[in-house]
Every structure is written in C-alpha cells, then in structure tokens.
C-alpha cells in the first residue's frame, strides 16, 4: 500500500510547523522577558551545568568499570566493602550530576546506612558466598530508578509541577524486587513530562544533558536513567517503555536497554499508570551498562513471570535465523537514517556472516512505513475493548484535577506562564486531531494485527530481526521538535509486543553513541539477550565518555 499524496502533504506541513516551533522555542529561550520559569532544583541536583564542557570527565576508580554481577561477587567475597562501593558511586554522581542533571533526588545517606548493614551481614558470616548469591544476587549493588516509579521516600511526579509535593510511601513492584535482591537505590532520575516525549526535560527538574556531548539530548522518557548509566554514575537502572522510552535513552547514551515481551514484568507502581489498551503497550525493563546484567536484572524484575521467557534455554547463535531492514521503507513522517547508523548495522551483518557462518536476510516489510500512524492512532483511543475509559493526555496533565486546555496553555507558555513544557502542550493539542477520522482506529488495528502476524510467522522461535533504533544519533537540545515522529522506529514494537534489546555499537565520528535494535518473537527474550552479550564481545559495548 503506497503512502497517499494527502499523507505526504500532511507530513510536509507537520515538519514545517515543527521547525517553526523549534525556531520559536529558540527565540523564547533567548528572550529574558519570555523565558520559561526556572526549574525546581533539589539540593545537590542543580538544574543546569555550572561550567562549560563538551562531555563528562572519565571515571577514575576501577569500581566504576565493573558490572553489577562482578560488584556483587566482590562484595560477597569481601574483596571490597559495600560502603566503599556505594561511596565510590555517590562520589561519581556528585562529580557528573552538575553537568548532566540526571539524578533529581538522591538518597545517599540512606544508601550508606544500607551499605553498612550489608557489611555487617557479611562480617557475621552466617551464610556462605553461594547462599548469599542465591538469596541476594545483587547484594550491595548500586542502582538508580526512573522518577516515574515509586521509591519510598522519593518524589514520584513524572515531571509534573502540580505533583511536586508527592512523596512515595511504598515501592513499585520492580523496585521492591530489586531491593529484596540486595540492590541499593541511590536516587531517582529525570524524565520527560508525563513520560511522553523523547527529550528528558520538565519544569520541575530542568533538562538532562548527554554525557558524551552536553549540547545533545539524553532521550526519553527514561532519559535520566540512560544518562547516569552512560556517565558511569550507576550500573543498573529501572526504565519504562511505551514508545521507545527505554531503548532511545539507551541508544543516545551508549548503554544496553531491554524492552521485555509485553505482560511479563509488572508495571504497577508508576505514574502515569497504564490502563485499558495501553497495558498492551507499556513495558517495564532493565537498563544496564553491561550486557551480563540484563538477564539477572530481568529475572529479578519479572519475578514468577520470568518462566515464560525461556531464559534457561541455551542459545546457539549459529542456529539462529537473522533478518534485517536498514530503514522503515520510506515513511514521509520520519528522517532518513544516518549513514553512520547504517554503516554500524552493516558491520554487524558482516560480522555475523563471517564469524557465525550465517546468512542475514534482507527484508522489505511494507507496513513498517506506517509505524507512526499505527502507534499514534492506537495510543489515542479513549476506551479499551471492554469499554473501560482510558484517561487522555490532558486528563493526565491535570492529574485528574483541574482541566487543562492545551490552546490556553500554549498562550501562557508563550509569555512564560505555563507550568507545562511545550512538547506536553503540543501533544495535548494533537491528541484531539488524531481522532477526527472514525475509521482510523479500525484501519490501524487491522494493520497492526497483520504486521504482527507477518513478523511472528517470520521470526517464530528461532529468528532475530536487526533494525535501527532511531534515524539519527543523539540530536542537539530542542531539535526533536523538528523531527517529532522519529520515535516510530522504536514505537512499532510496543504495538507488536515483541521483546527488543538495544545494544551499543561504539561511537560516531562526532563521539556520539551508535547502536542497533535486536528483536525476537514473543517470549523469546533469551535470543535478544544472547545477541546483546555477543555484540558486546565483538564491538566493545559501552564506551567510556570523556576519554581522548
């Protein structure tokens, strides 16, 4: 099915309008009289970089270069104290956070108390190392949590100003499970307002900056999480993904991120919560600096549901069937794929064929070019199949309180009086436009079902699909407003429900991370995780920022 002339014209108009808003945003941000309100900045977490630098300084302590699995092993064996580990990571966060604004609220004092308790437990010697590994696989390992998740004693605002006084009294399910596994949370990290934009910036905490280039975005909505991992301030993080919110930040910040098969890892305990059909799209998953942490972190976060993911099955990559697409087939709504991203993908293909002796088959799935239309239409429906009402975005902006009128908020924003970011206002306005055609939902559902069946039949239980994570490397701040639909490269897999692992592939000529999405059929997460380990081995994985 060809893209219609009307769709191409609409895409051109949207791009022109978006670019005009980018230019307007630049003028507004430079005009003191029209500047947006200064972001709230918690103690120890400034909202902007105090000094000029292109990237964060490289870490110097050896502990900052270890995986969570290795840190836990050294703590259990008493090769290093838990207090030393936690102090080292706290020191790193204090070093880089003034530049990147990733951790928006810390719990350093509580983390150190918990580290002392770990060291006390080890000194008493009641359990063997093997017993401790079984009970607490991540004993003493520092982690960070996306602020949208409940972490007891920490804010849970999702960047919404009118929730600035909300403090969590409980833990989200996945946070509780990580704590039970021995992990020690260091704090919560920044996200986009209401987790629905791919630049992590809001009027409560300010903007996060990329550790490889402070003038570039960190992605969203789990951008603060990807950012602090890429900067070596944390080793494992908790993210959520409804359109690429784990995978885009993982790509832009050079780390690993896994969107599990839908419905396995519980989403409870985050704001906004998923209800109705959106439960089929939202996934909670791990973000890690090292591939070997993905599987154990996923096991912990999934709990009993992990049995469906075949993680105990041994994977022989030589027997896997590989497929790839270098772009979506030519959607007029998204940018062309950067040459360096294509070159990185080609290197992966050549490596697989040369070292594993497999053939990587090129695909041309025509429906992929409709990824944005499918996702946007299905996300905009206001009721589930059982008739349950789904809150729209403007309901969430008001936190189910006073109604928010996007057009009025836009006028307020132009004079620096709105408590919402421009992307959130724009999304609220566009939400009403998507539903103008009553046939759109039926058509989108049909295309999604057909695409899902086509890919499921192709991948089965032994296939892997390689696909770009985004058309461009990390853009500069505000530039996403001029390319607002590029997230379609990740969003389509939320609709399909397939597991996807984002894997780093070194740096571009400009020093920004490259990467690739590895996709498998439902409940075949073990295949994408095995590929993550292989690609880390072959291409180096995370690259330390600030060197050279």
Give the residue numbers marked as catalytic.
Answer: 146, 221, 245
Q: Tell me the three-class secondary structure of 109-160, residue by residue.
A: HHHHHHHHHHHHHHHHCCCCHHHHHHHCCCCCCEEEEECCECCCCCECCCCC
The two beta strands, 321-324 and 463-467, are: parallel
Phi-psi region of 183 (alpha: psi -120 to 50; beta: other; left: phi over 0): beta
Identify the CA nearest to 104 among candidates 54, 56, 39: 39
Do residues 255 and 230 lie in contact, with contact meaning Cβ atoms separated by under 8 Å? yes
Q: What is the DSSP letter of 338?
A: P
Number of CB atoms found within 10 A of residue 347's CB:
16
d(CA 187, CA 151): 8
For 187, the enclosing helix (H) or strand (E) is: strand 184-189
> 316 burial class (0-12, 13-18, 19+ CB within 10 angstroms)?
exposed
Identify the CA nearest to 184 among candidates 88, 41, 102, 256: 88
d(CA 22, CA 20): 5
d(CA 492, CA 506): 25
Number of CB atoms found within 10 A of residue 283's CB:
26
Identify the CA nearest to 115 among candidates 73, 84, 136: 84
Do residues 69 and 291 lie in contact, with contact meaning Cβ atoms separated by under 8 Å? no
For 202, the enclosing helix (H) or strand (E) is: strand 201-202
d(CA 333, CA 327): 13
Number of CB atoms found within 10 A of residue 69's CB:
20
Residue with tokens 């349950």: 388
* Cis status of the peptide bond prior to 221, with omega within 30 of 0: yes
Query: CA 527, 533, 538 angle in degrees (round to 5)?
Result: 120
How many residues make up the chain in this entry?
548
Tokens for 134, please give them: 């079984």
Query: Around 290, how many Cα atoms within 13 Å sit in the side-chain half-sphere?
Result: 14
């Amino acid at each position: 099915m060809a893209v219609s002339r009307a769709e191409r014209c609409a895409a051109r108009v949207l791009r022109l309008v978006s670019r005009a808003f980018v230019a307007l945003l630049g003028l507004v941000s430079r005009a003191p009289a029209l500047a947006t309100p200064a972001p709230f900045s918690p103690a120890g977490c400034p909202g902007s970089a105090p000094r000029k630098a292109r990237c964060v300084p490289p870490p110097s302590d050896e502990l900052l270069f270890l995986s969570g699995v290795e840190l836990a092993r050294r703590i259990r064996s008493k090769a290093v104290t838990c207090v030393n580990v936690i102090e080292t990571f706290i020191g790193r966060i204090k070093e880089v956070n003034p530049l990147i604004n990733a951790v928006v609220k810390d719990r350093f004092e509580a983390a150190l108390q918990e580290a002392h308790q770990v060291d006390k437990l080890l000194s008493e010697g009641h359990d063997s190392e093997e017993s401790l590994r079984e009970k607490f696989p991540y004993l003493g390992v520092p982690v960070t949590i996306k602020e949208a998740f409940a972490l007891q004693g920490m804010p849970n605002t999702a960047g919404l100003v009118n929730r600035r006084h909300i403090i969590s009294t409980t833990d989200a399910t996945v946070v509780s499970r990580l704590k039970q596994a021995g992990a020690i949370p260091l704090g919560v990290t920044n996200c986009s307002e209401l987790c629905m934009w791919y630049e992590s910036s809001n009027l409560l905490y300010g903007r996060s900056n990329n550790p490889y280039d402070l003038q570039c975005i960190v992605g969203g909505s789990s951008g603060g999480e990807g950012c602090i991992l890429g900067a070596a301030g944390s080793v494992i993080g908790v993210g959520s993904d409804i359109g690429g919110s784990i995978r885009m930040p993982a790509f832009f910040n050079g780390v690993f991120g896994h969107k599990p098969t839908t419905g396995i890892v519980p989403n409870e305990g985050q704001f906004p919560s998923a209800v109705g059909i959106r439960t089929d799209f939202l996934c909670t998953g791990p973000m890690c600096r090292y591939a070997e942490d993905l599987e154990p972190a996923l096991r912990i976060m999934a709990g009993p549901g992990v049995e469906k993911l075949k993680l105990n099955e041994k994977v022989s990559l030589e027997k896997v069937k590989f497929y790839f697409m270098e772009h979506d087939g030519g959607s007029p709504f998204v940018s062309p794929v950067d040459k360096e991203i294509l070159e990185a993908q080609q290197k992966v293909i050549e490596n697989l064929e040369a070292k594993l002796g497999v053939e990587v088959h090129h695909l041309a799935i025509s429906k992929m070019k409709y990824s944005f239309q499918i996702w946007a239409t299905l996300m905009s429906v206001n009721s589930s199949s059982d008739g349950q009402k789904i809150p729209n975005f403007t309901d969430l902006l008001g936190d189910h309180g006073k109604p928010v009128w996007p057009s009025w908020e836009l006028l307020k924003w132009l004079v620096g009086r709105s408590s919402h970011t421009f992307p959130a206002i724009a999304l609220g306005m566009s939400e009403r436009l998507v539903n103008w055609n009553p046939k759109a939902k039926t058509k989108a559902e049909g295309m999604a079902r057909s695409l899902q069946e086509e890919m499921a039949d192709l991948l089965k239980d032994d296939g892997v699909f390689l696909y770009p994570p985004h058309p461009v490397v990390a853009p500069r701040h505000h530039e996403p407003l001029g390319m607002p639909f590029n997230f379609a490269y990740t969003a389509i897999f939320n609709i399909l429900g397939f597991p996807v692992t984002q894997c780093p592939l070194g740096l571009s000529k400009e020093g920004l991370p490259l990467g690739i999405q590895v996709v498998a059929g439902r409940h075949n997460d073990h295949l994408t995780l095995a590929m993550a380990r292989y690609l880390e081995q072959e291409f180096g994985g995370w690259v330390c920022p600030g060197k050279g």
